[in-house]
Amino acid sequence: MNYAKQTAPYIRKETSVKRMMIDVLIALLPVVIFAVYRFGFDAVVRILLSLVVFLTVEIVSSLMRVKPHPSIKDRKEKFKARWKTLTINHVTAPLVSAVIFAMIIPANLSLYVVFIGALSGSLIAKAFFGGLGSNIFNVAGVGRVVIGLSFANQFSYPGVDAVTGATPLQAIKDSLLNIPTMLDTYSLQDLFLGNIPGSMGEISALLILVGGLYMFIRKAADFRVSLSMILTVAVMVAVGAIAVGGNVTNTVLYHLLAGGLMFGAIFMITDPVTSPVTKPGRWIYGLVVGAIVVFIRLFGAYPEGVVFAILLGNIFVPLIDYYKWSKNKYSIKFVIGYVVALAILSFIVLVGLGGLN
């Protein structure tokens, strides 16, 4: 019997890890170019710093994990033996994580904070768990959360609205009723095209969708988990808008286009290492993450909840993939269960916003 040598992550479809990672990098190009266009040299410096940190940690940690054969005594020969174990995946994978991390931070974030965030993601979330394909949490997400909680005062967003100085989600705070008023400041067109304050790669929904379409066509990402997350947010926010007597269409579109939801749904939740392997499992995963996003946005003190939701959702992936109940085929039970779960979550939103009073 012949065995094919392959490095993690183990992609179970007609593609290779190298091709998939390169396709993701190509899909990220529109938002990266737009970030450089909008924020100039500040964006370039922070992207490059992130790339250097992620690549350095990946290569050094990978070399350290290799134990050369005892017969090799010479240090140079030991280093050569370690170096030969590196593959193109050890370059493309950290490049993807580095770019994603850079796209979810402000362009004016202090460089030492960028360094700490990139180091936290690449070292704590990935290297400590065994490196390429072994991380259980989204690498870029961990780096963003670490610096977001540790250096909250550093997160100010340069943008078009110098009066409020806030992102669209910060501006509406915890009230769905503020959305019609905020549309005078941030129109749906501004949100769609990227004429708003925010993190470097999260502001243009149009370019994010262009990149996502490329990935889905190339099968570099699974559309199911993205669609499930977006559908869940749309349904639950629509119910919330009904509960407070708001405009359903504007409220749903505002929440879908504002903040990091689109970027997270396209480029982060689709990470093959930290998402379920089965088709029904990916729908469930998207439902879980989408619901957490809505609960954080509507009931939490934090205006944005995408990265937190993805990391919390990562915790449930082993449970979703548990062999005793995970199947790769759809069933009537799954469809009914999905619809009932979404209905229950929507009902919680309705009650929480006083819709039955």
- Say yes or no: 261 and 235 in one domain: yes
Given a contact cutoff of 8 angstroms between Cβ atoms, the answer to whether 54 and 101 are in contact is yes
Answer whether residue 166 shows pLDDT above 80.
no
- Say yes or no: 207 and 255 in one domain: no
Q: Return d(Cα 247, Cα 183) in angstroms, integer.
A: 12
- Say yes or no: 337 and 246 in one domain: yes
Answer whether residue 11 shows pLDDT above 80.
no
Position 291 in a domain:
yes
pLDDT, average across residues 311-322: 92
pLDDT, average across residues 66-85: 65
Q: Percent of the chain, pLDDT > 90?
A: 52
Position 30 in a domain:
yes
- pLDDT at position 63 is 77
- Say yes or no: 206 and 273 in one domain: no
Answer whether residue 155 shows pLDDT above 90.
no
- Say yes or no: 206 and 256 in one domain: no
- Say yes or no: 79 and 130 in one domain: yes
Answer whether residue 279 shows pLDDT above 80.
yes
Residues 6+ apart with CB under 8 A from 283: 224, 225, 228, 334, 338
Place of tokens 């304050």: 197
Domain that holds residue 45: 14-159+198-217
Position 165 in a domain:
no
- Say yes or no: 294 and 333 in one domain: yes
The pLDDT-based confidence of 77 (bands split at 50, 70, 90) is low
- pLDDT at position 162 is 39
- pLDDT at position 178 is 64
- pLDDT at position 14 is 44
**Interhelix angle for 139-150 vs 89-103, to 10°?**
40
Place of tokens 């992130």: 50
- Say yes or no: 238 and 319 in one domain: yes
Range scoring the smallest mean pLDDT among 58-72, 187-201, 310-324: 58-72
- Say yes or no: 248 and 103 in one domain: no
pLDDT, average across residues 237-241: 92
- Say yes or no: 205 and 79 in one domain: yes
Q: Return d(Cα 231, Cα 102) in angstroms, integer.
A: 27
Position 233 in a domain:
yes
Answer whether residue 34 shows pLDDT above 80.
yes
Tens of pLDDT, residue by residue over 283-309, are 999 999 999 999 998 888 777 789 999
Question: What's the sign of the alpha-carbon dihedral 56, 62, 66, 68?
Answer: negative
Answer whether residue 9 shows pLDDT above 60.
no
